[in-house]
Structure 1
């Protein structure tokens, strides 16, 4: 998070502070305090950060150096009026009770999206966490692929029984957890998996609160037909979405349109292919988005999805630099799973 964006918004609005109240694990509270808090908390930013937790924080919770933790309060929002001046900025998602406490105390509350824009360009430490999350994502995807590659018969089976979508999900999650990430896997399949079934897999693990994003589609016994063409289309579409970006000029929508156009160039119906580009960070989807220009420091999920005869997903995480957009990670895109990567 870049506090200078909040500083500028406060100065432009003539406001004293930025305030918010969020539940346990809230990403905005984490961005401001530097810690995943295990309880509800109020946060005030005015050059430095003040945190009012709902209860005493355990010793393992450590906020960043520019934040101080105040005495806990059963209703943290009640403390806000005593911590600010006459005017504050807040997200539109500020809880109603917090807004009432401020209003009843005569504090003027104006809404802002500065907190979202402050998270749009990642700091070096945030990018490091994203890279670690993407490394964990690759571990999870490799484990899922290995389960499929080492199976035999039709439907797929191994010594532990049928290879099901749930087993694939659990294998990916276990590998990501072993890598130190909070795992999350979606498998677009159900039940036992046939040898010729495309198996779309998306993994979005978190490290220090920051999400990785990786999607691949595997076919254990591919004949090189539709699914191979679809996977190649997805691969080149993701690359096209990355390559088209002129950092500081190209918008997110323009990059997404390029992904969709590349899918169409492989002969798939216009309604079958979807290109999506969006920011990634403390949330799976955040700024930049839409007509936002892609600036240095932006972390992006670049996604190509086909849903025609079957479903195919290809997606990678990328980061914008002064020199262009580079893919984070190197996980192969082949439709045929391998036992090791």
Structure 2
């Protein structure tokens, strides 16, 4: 299964602690929690629109789908559990569909909510980390392709041109998506190019390329780089140095000990402010997995060993915005996933 042994162990502990007989969830196969619970063979053949119901009784998984049963899978699963002699309390996520809850209650079960799946998803197995790394490699391939267009463009009348045509944000976005697909990933509509003003891309201003593709089994990456073609230093250089220092500081924090999301975000902001920036600093720290942003993603939630987190730092300057986004795998040490150069010069990625 996707979550593998750690999820099963956590579910057994929750069932024993709550005196429950079984864990149940239901919903479309595209629901990340459903995908996390599906055994590997089911995950490989699933249709994202197909409704599924899953159960774990501490020993084995049961999976029902409309294609298999001809009826609502939650109804079929509830009847199967009752027929197998299970009774009493069923643990479910708080957001289980209402009709699924009614089917379980109709079969004689009482329901109690648990966040055990969400908590388990915050720590990644080795297999999950490899899938995220694959998605991040595709993200890197896309950003490199966008940077290559910027580096090779000609400057004409204050605009960048490529093959005689003005270079636009849309053309850059298409190039990034093409690089992602060529690397085996799926852009998933998460690619964006931000340029100051309207019209073609201009030299001397920050151009932000960002993307969060997924790999074939559904795990996401997240990467953003800012480039300035033919820049002359100034505020963009100072802001870029501040942002890169912020990443190094946060990595040191996460290497030393588990930290809360709030603490890491505050450290990122403080590092940028140390370079003389006071306003319009934006930081975000979130987990990455079967969603582009998932737990840990708020307040006092801890970035524990085993987490893969996305660090996003941006600061507004007069000519635009400097922004960097990276993924860090935290496990005693901190590893950058797909560590492409952070340089403002797009030619540095060639």
Q: TM (normalized to structure 2)?
A: 0.87
Show the counterpart of 2:211.
203
- In structure 2, the partner of 1:79 is 76
SS in 2 for 1:136: helix
- The 3-state SS of whatever aligns with 1:291 is coil
Following superposition, the deviation at residue 170 of structure 1 comes to: 0.9
What is the aligned partner in structure 1 of residue 284 from structure 2?
Answer: 276
- Asked if residue 238 in structure 1 is aligned to residue 247 in structure 2, the reply is yes
Instruction: Kindly report the root-mean-square deviation, in angstroms, between the aligned alpha carbons of the 2 structures.
Output: 1.8
**Structure 2 residue 179 is the aligned partner of structure 1 residue 170:** no
CA–CA distance in structure 2, aligned partners of residues 262 and 83 of structure 1:
57
C-alpha separation in 2, matches of 1:151 and 1:54: 53
Measured after TM superposition, the shift of residue 27 of structure 1 is: 1.5
Say yes or no: does 1:13 pair with 2:18.
Answer: yes
Tell me the distance in 1 between the aligned counterparts of 2:179 and 2:55: 38
**Distance verdict in 2 for CA 1:162–1:339, change over 3 Å:** farther
Residue 139 of structure 2 contacts residue 211 of structure 2 at CA under 8 Å; is this kept in 1?
yes
What SS class does the counterpart of residue 202 from structure 1 fall into?
Answer: strand
Instruction: Determine if the alignment matches structure 1 residue 157 to structure 2 residue 161.
Output: yes
Distance in 1, matches of 2:330 and 2:281, equals 25
Q: How does 1:1-341 map to 2 (within 5 A)?
A: 1=3, 2-3=6-7, 4-33=9-38, 34=40, 35=43, 37-38=46-47, 39-47=50-58, 48-55=60-67, 71-84=68-81, 85=86, 86-153=88-155, 154-159=158-163, 161-183=165-187, 184-189=190-195, 191-207=199-215, 208-246=217-255, 248-269=257-278, 271-289=279-297, 290-309=299-318, 310-322=320-332, 324-338=333-347, 340-341=349-350
- Once the two structures are TM-superposed, the CA of residue 149 in structure 1 deviates from its matched residue by 1.0
Please give the secondary structure, in 1, of the residue aligned with 2:94: coil
Q: Which 5+ residue runs of structure 1 have no aligned equivalent? A: 56-70
Count of residue pairs brought into register by the alignment = 324
Shift of 1:108: 0.9
Aligned-partner Cα distance in 1 for 2:149–2:255: 39
Q: Structure 1 residues 160 and 139 mapped into 2: Cα distance closer, same or farther (>3 Å)?
A: farther
8 A Cα contact 2:101 2:111, kept in partner: yes
Contact 2:258 2:305 in 1 (8 A): no
Structure 1-normalised TM-score?
0.90
State how far apart, in whole Å, the 2-side matches of 1:78 and 1:191 are.
55
User: How big is each residue's C-alpha offset from its partner over 1:305-340, in whole Å with a ceiling of 9 and x where there is no partner?
Assistant: 113432221111011112x22212221111111175
Q: Hey, what's the Cα distance between the residues in 2 that align with 1:325 and 1:198? A: 29
SS in 2 for 1:9: helix
- Which 4+ runs in 1 deviate beyond 6 A? none
Give structure 2 stretches of 5+ with no counterpart: none
Following the alignment from structure 2 to structure 1, what is the Cα–Cα distance between the partners of residues 80 and 234? Answer: 64
* 1:233 positional shift: 1.4
SS of residue matched to 1:211: coil
Structure number with the higher helix fraction is 2
Q: Deviation of residue 119 (structure 1)?
A: 1.0
- 1:247–1:294 Cα contact (<8 Å) kept: no
